[in-house]
């Protein structure tokens, strides 16, 4: 059985309709940028499950922090450069 989260509790950070989604956030020199599976799925217009398959197949390097999965921006750029347009 799926657990439903009420609309008001859902995160708006990954919603492309949110005006803050496409804005670049300021970052400090040398600070790394990480994506969540959901953020990367929205960026590439894929399902989160497909992103997880890429991770499981070792096609995409990730960082595991406990149960959380984060993808470095450099790994995303490398993967995008390897893929044909």
Ranges of each domain in the chain:
33-85
Contact 60, 43 (CB under 8 A): no
Q: Write down how long the chain is.
A: 85
pLDDT at residue 31, as a whole number: 81
Proportion of the chain above pLDDT 70, given as a percent: 67
- CATH for 33-85, among 3.10.450, 1.10.3470, 1.10.10, 2.40.50? 1.10.10
pTM beyond 0.85: the answer is no
Read off the DSSP letter of residue 7.
G
Kindly state the average pLDDT of the residues 2-29: 58
> What pLDDT shows up at residue 32?
86
List, for residues 48-85, the tens digit of each pLDDT value.
999 999 999 999 999 999 999 999 999 999 999 998 86
Write the DSSP assignment of 10-53 as a string of letters: S--TT-TTSTTSSSPPP--TT---EE-HHHHHHHHT--HHHHHH
- As a dihedral over the C-alpha atoms of residue 51, residue 65, residue 77, residue 35, rounded to 10 degrees, the angle is 70
């Amino acid at each position: 059985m799926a657990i439903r989260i009420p609309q008001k509790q859902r995160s708006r950070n990954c919603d492309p309709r949110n005006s803050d989604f496409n804005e670049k956030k300021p970052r400090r020199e040398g600070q790394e940028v990480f994506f969540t599976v959901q953020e990367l799925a929205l960026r590439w217009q894929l399902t989160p499950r497909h992103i997880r398959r890429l991770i499981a197949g070792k096609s995409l390097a990730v960082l595991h922090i406990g149960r959380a999965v984060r993808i470095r921006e450099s790994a995303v750029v490398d993967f995008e450069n390897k893929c044909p347009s």
